[in-house]
Amino acid sequence: MNSLTKFIDQTLALHSDPEATESVKVDKFLDSTQYEVIENEVLMNSDIKGLKISGSLFSLTTFKNVTFESCVFFGSKIENCRFVGCKFIDCDFQFTNLAFCNFIATDFTNTRWECSPMKKSDFSSCGMDAKTLYFVAKEDNKIESCFMTEEVEWVDAPINEDGTQDPTKTMNVLLSHFGKKAA
């Protein structure tokens, strides 16, 4: 079932359109704003490149052997979906909520996460980059037989003049080294 829905939050519409100061203008702006709702669909064997998805809802949808490359998911909601044998390559998830999804044999490569929680989802036999694994492990997700898709370099801890290690220096070095990769 494909249908279109409108923005619900009128304050966002007011910020998007600087001329919208009256409710009539807001309603006119909302009439021209449409967002996709995709439910109970199956998408198979597709390569999707450079797609920008904004304000969409994906629900009860199955993706099989779909490659998302350089795609942006902005302000969207993905819930109760299955991803089987999919790939996310150089994708951005910004302000997107993923919940109750199943990821089976899905690979995440160079995926960026910004204010995009993944909650109560299952990950089975998935390949994950360090950032994805960090955000998946942070929430209430189930991870089974997953593996890292990139090598993680370890930095030797700095040693003081007396030959001992200072934990604050060690943490600062690690944060500066991995902060660029995990942020």
**CB-based contact 148:126 (threshold 8 Å):** no
Q: Could you read off the pLDDT of 45-93 as tens digits, one per residue?
A: 999 999 898 889 999 999 999 999 999 999 999 999 999 999 999 999 9
**Per-residue pLDDT at 90:** 96
More confident residue, 175 or 106: 106
| Cα–Cα distance, 117 to 94 (Å, whole number) | 10
Location of structure tokens 């593996």: 147
**Per-residue pLDDT at 4:** 41
Q: Could you read off the pLDDT of 10-50 as tens digits, one per residue?
A: 344 434 444 444 444 444 444 444 558 889 999 999 999 99
Q: Residue type at 32?
A: S
| Cα–Cα distance, 77 to 48 (Å, whole number) | 18
**Per-residue pLDDT at 92:** 95
Asked if the model's pLDDT at residue 181 lies above 50, the reply is: no
What's 99-144 look like in SS3?
Answer: ECCEEECCEEECCEEECCCEECCEEECCEECHHHHHHHHHCCCEEE
Q: Could you read off the pLDDT of 145-173 as tens digits, one per residue?
A: 988 887 655 555 556 667 666 555 555 55
Asked if the model's pLDDT at residue 110 lies above 80, the reply is: yes
First-residue to last-residue Cα distance in the chain: 37
Region 130-143: what's the mean pLDDT?
A: 88
Location of structure tokens 């009256």: 22
Of 120, 107, 78, the C-alpha closest to 95 is: 78
